Structure 1
Amino acid sequence: MKFFASILASFLVVMTLSYSPAVKSADVGALLAGICDNVAADNKGRFRKKLKEAGVKLRDIYDGISCGGQNLVRHAIKTGSAKTGAYIVKRMPASHFAGSGDAEWATGNGFADSPIVTAIAER
């Protein structure tokens, strides 16, 4: 009986030590669900927190996110989210904005005086 108990205990210890939690890739979608709302509310702190909790970099997910059919920068310009929009511009590579047309879009839609457009021009 002691032999059986020791084998069972050993088995439980090995199973406990070898257990690894499932990859949290499904949780990334849940963590980033409110990202458009955070941009629209100009809540830079919560926006950064969502990215950090998800363990992703903005430049890695930027092309895959659209808010109302627009990219994050255009959404920030349209909603007047200066702090969060400037943060997004700073986190993206300067080469991205050379061909994105975001500044031209803003000028063409009456947002030329936006601080985000100024941040894009400084890059």
Structure 2
Amino acid sequence: MWKAVASTVAVASIAMGVNLAASKPAQAQDLALNLCTYVQGDDRMRMRQRIREERIRLRQVYEGVRCNDLSLIQFALANGSMDIGTFMVSQLPASTLSRTGDLAWAEANGHGDSEVAQAIRERTED
């Protein structure tokens, strides 16, 4: 299952505004692959550790990382990774959650009743 993730991870400008310099695309690719793997395995602790090691915030890289052409939250929903999905929702600003369309995707793909979708609704209400 890990190989399926590895072969389809796409990174779009993950290095912008982060400690990962544009001259280190392999490091950015490695980080993206790790994040996708942690989401697939519902491993919140390892994700938090890796983010801390890189001295970044999830909000800095969230929109640049795609797993099997899905955002990290969409990928969490598709894999039933509710713990890490709700963690990511708590780490992202409401504006990012609104802009990415993760809630609309969840509702359109049968995940509208999930705890992650509910967490997104709560964060984006105002």
* Band the TM-score falls in, shorter-chain normalisation: 0.7 to 0.9
**Residue 99 in structure 1 maps to residue 102 in structure 2:** no
Aligned-residue Cα RMSD (Å) equals 1.9
CA deviations on 1:77-99 (whole Å, 9 max, x unpaired) are 11111111111111110122223
Which structure has greater helix proportion?
Answer: 1
Asked if the contact 1:38–1:47 (Cα under 8 Å) also holds between the matched residues in 2, the reply is yes
Instruction: Give the whole-Å Cα distance in 1 for the aligned partners of 2:98 and 2:35.
Output: 24
1:55–1:102 distance in 2 versus 1, CA, 3 Å: same
* Alpha-carbon distance, 1:32 to partner: 4.7
Instruction: Give the whole-Å Cα distance in 2 for the aligned partners of 1:54 and 1:89.
Output: 20
Counterpart of 2:112, as a letter, is A
Q: Could you tell me which residue of structure 1 aligns to residue 9 of structure 2?
A: none
* Alpha-carbon distance, 1:28 to partner: 4.2
* Alpha-carbon distance, 1:58 to partner: 0.7
TM-score of the superposed pair, with normalisation by structure 1 = 0.74
1:24–1:92 distance in 2 versus 1, CA, 3 Å: closer
Q: Could you tell me which residue of structure 2 aligns to residue 10 of structure 1?
A: none
Which structure has greater strand proportion?
Answer: 2
Q: Could you tell me which residue of structure 2 aligns to residue 80 of structure 1?
A: 80
Instruction: Give the whole-Å Cα distance in 1 for the aligned partners of 2:32 and 2:69.
Output: 17
Structure 2 residues not aligned, in runs of 5+: 1-18
Asked if the contact 1:31–1:53 (Cα under 8 Å) also holds between the matched residues in 2, the reply is no
Q: Percent identity?
A: 33
Asked if the contact 1:103–1:117 (Cα under 8 Å) also holds between the matched residues in 2, the reply is yes
Instruction: Give the whole-Å Cα distance in 1 for the aligned partners of 2:108 and 2:56.
Output: 32
Instruction: Give the whole-Å Cα distance in 1 for the aligned partners of 2:110 and 2:58.
Output: 27
1:113–1:51 distance in 2 versus 1, CA, 3 Å: same
For this pair of structures, how many residues does the alignment match? 101
* Alpha-carbon distance, 1:103 to partner: 1.1
Moved over 6 A (4+): none
Secondary structure (helix, strand or coil) at the match of 2:67 reads coil
Secondary structure (helix, strand or coil) at the match of 1:66 reads strand
- Relative contact order, higher structure (CA 8 A, sep 6+): 2
CA deviations on 1:37-92 (whole Å, 9 max, x unpaired) are 10011000001111111111111111110000011111111111111111111111
Instruction: Give the whole-Å Cα distance in 2 for the aligned partners of 1:68 and 1:82.
Output: 18
Structure 1 residues not aligned, in runs of 5+: 1-22
